[in-house]
Amino acid sequence: MGRTIAEKVLSDRSGSDARAGDIVKAEVDYVMVNDVTGPIAFREFSKLGTDRIMRDRIVLVPDHYVPAKDVASAEQAREMREFARRYDIANYYEVGRSGVCHQLMVEEGFAAPGRLIVGADSHSCTYGGLNAFSTGIGSTEAAAVFATGRMWFRVPESIRIALSGRLKEHVGGKDLILRIIGDIGTEGASYRSMEFCGDAASLSVSDRLSVCNMAVEAGAKAAVFPCDSLTESYMKGRARGDWRPVSPDPDASYADELEYSLSDLVPYVACPSSPANCMPAAECGAAIDQAYLGSCTNGRIEDMREAASILKGRRVHPDVRMIVAPASKEVYGMMADEGLIRVFLDAGAYVSGPTCGACLGGHMGVLASGEAAVSSTNRNFLGRMGHRDSKVYLAGPAVVAASAVAGRIVPPEGVA
C-alpha cells in the first residue's frame, strides 16, 4: 500500500515505515517560538538541566506584542532576547528586522519541500503551502525539541482534496479555505492532514500559504500542497540548505476525499463567531466599524496589491477605520517601492509596521463593546479581537478593502 505525503515525511524523519495511527519519534528540521510562547519554552528548557541545545534548528521571532505595548510584554521580549544571547541563537529576529513569525519562516527559507517543522503557535501549519509537513505544538514540547531535536508524533490520516479549474478575479486562497471549513466544520479534519492535489498549480504560493494557515481552524494537524514549478521558483535563492519534494503514491490510502471547483468559488465571509459560519460576501451586508488587512493569513505583498487595486482612487467610509499591517519588513519595503503605502494613506487607512497585535486582540486595533470588524485574519471567536461583545467577520483582502469603502460587508463588485 502506498503512502500519503504525511506518511512519507514522517517515515523519512523517523527512519521507519510510518503509517496512519503509528507513533513515531522523528527528527525535526526547525522549531519556532514567538514572544508569547517562547518564554514558557525557555523556562521549561532550563528545568531539563542540560547544556545540549540544537541552536541551529531554533528560530525565535518576537511578533505578537510588537512593538511592546506595556511592561509585561517588554519583559517577555527581553526574556527572548536574553535566551538568544545566552545560547548564541543565530536565528533570532529582532524588532525592525523581522515580521510575523509564519511569514518569516517562509521568507527566510526555513520552510521548504519535504521538511518537518514545528512551531509553538497553532498556525505553524502554514508551511505546508511549500510542500512541508508542519504543525503547531506546545511550549513544553518546543523545549524538548530545543534539547533533543526530536519529537513524537502520531501519524495522521489524510484527507485528499482535489482542485479543478481556476480562481476568478478577486477570489483567493482565503475564499477556498473558508468554503472548505464552512462545508466540513471546525472539527471536520480533526488530527488529519489535508492533502491538496489536482489543479493546485492555479493557486499562487501566497494563496497556498493562506489555505494551509487556516487548516487548523478545521481541526487539521497539517495541510500540504504538492511541490511544482511555482514552489521551486519560490525556493530559488531562498531555501536554506538542501530540500527534496515529496509526493503521495498513486495507491495511497485516504480517510476521505473531497472535490472543489476553483472556478465556482466566490468571495466568502465567515460570520461571528466561527470560521465555519461561512456565506458569500454578497449575502452578508453587515455594517462595520473597522477593516483590518494583515496577519499571517493575508499580510503578504499579493494581499496588499489586491486591496490597493480596489482602494486606489477611493476613500475609506467615514464611519470606518482601516488598519493595514504587512506581515514582514520585506513586504513593507515592497509596499513602499510599489507605491502601495501611498494608495492606502490617500484612501484614509492607517499603515503600521509588521505585528500580530490586532489579530489576537492584543493591541493596535482592539475592538470596543458592540463594534464589528471585517478582518483578513484567521479567527473570529468571541472576544478574539477585543471586547467579548464585539463581532469579527473573516474575509480575504478584496472583501476587506471593498467593505472598508462601503461601510458594510460587500464583495469587490459592491463598491462604485
pLDDT tens-digit readout, 243-290: 999 999 999 999 999 999 999 999 999 999 999 999 999 999 999 999
End-to-end CA distance of the chain: give it in Å, rounded. 56
CB atoms within 10 A of CB 82: 11
pTM, two decimal places: 0.97
Q: How much is the pLDDT for 282?
A: 97
pLDDT exceeds 80 at position 416? no
- E strand or H helix that includes residue 397: helix 397-406
Q: pLDDT-based confidence at 1, cuts 50/70/90?
A: confident
AA identity, residue 367: L
What are the tens digits of pLDDT across the range 362-377? 999 999 999 999 999 9
Q: How many CB atoms lie within 10 A of CB 346?
A: 13
Q: What's the pLDDT tens digit per position in 27-43?
A: 999 999 999 999 999 99
Q: What percent of the chain has pLDDT over 90?
A: 98
Q: Give the pLDDT score at 164.
A: 96
Q: What is the mean pLDDT of residues 142-151?
A: 98
pLDDT of the residue at 28: 98
pLDDT band at 160 (very low <50, low <70, confident <90, very high): very high
Q: Write down the pLDDT at residue 290.
A: 98
Stated length of the chain: 416
Of the CA atoms within 13 Å of residue 6, those in its CB half-sphere come to: 31
* Average predicted confidence (pLDDT) for the chain: 97
The one-letter amino acid code at 145 reads V
Give pLDDT tens digits for 62-103. 999 999 999 999 999 999 999 999 999 999 999 999 999 999
**pLDDT higher than 80, residue 175:** yes
- What span, in angstroms and rounded, lies between the C-alpha atoms of 295 and 101? 10
Render pLDDT for 297-353 as a digit per residue (tens, 0 to 9).
999 999 999 999 999 999 999 999 999 999 999 999 999 999 999 999 999 999 999
Report the share of the chain in percent with pLDDT over 70: 100
Q: How confident is the model at residue 201 (pLDDT cuts 50, 70, 90)?
A: confident
pLDDT digits (tens, 9 = 90+) for 92-131: 999 999 999 999 999 999 999 999 999 999 999 999 999 9
Q: How far is CA 352 from CA 303, 328, 375, in A?
A: 15, 11, 15
What confidence category does residue 414 fall into, taking pLDDT thresholds of 50, 70 and 90?
confident
The per-residue pLDDT for 235 is: 96
pLDDT level of residue 158 (50, 70, 90 thresholds): very high
Evaluate if residue 295 carries a pLDDT over 80. Answer: yes
Pair 296, 101: CB distance under 8 Å: yes
User: What DSSP line would sit under 175-232, residue for residue?
Assistant: HHHHHHHHHH-TTTTTTEEEEEEESGGGS-HHHHHHHHHTGGGGT-SEEE----HHHH
pLDDT of residue 199: 86
- Categorize the per-residue pLDDT at 228 as very low, low, confident or very high, splitting at 50, 70 and 90: very high
Query: 247: cis peptide before it, omega within 30°?
Result: no
pLDDT at 318: 98
User: What is the spatial distance between Cα 336 and Cα 36, in angstroms, rounded to a whole number?
Assistant: 29
Helices (H), 61-112: 71-86, 101-107
User: Given pLDDT bands bounded at 50, 70 and 90, which one contains residue 200?
Assistant: confident
Q: Which residues are CB-neighbours of 342 under 8 A, at least 6 positions away?
A: none
The domains of the chain, with CATH numbers, are: 5-244 (3.30.499.10), 268-414 (3.30.499.10)
Q: In Å, how far are 175, 321, 394 from 270, measured between CA atoms?
A: 10, 20, 5
Q: What is the pLDDT of residue 396?
A: 98
Classify 119 as helix, strand or coil: strand
Residue 244's pLDDT is 96
Q: Which helix (H) or strand (E) holds 94?
A: none
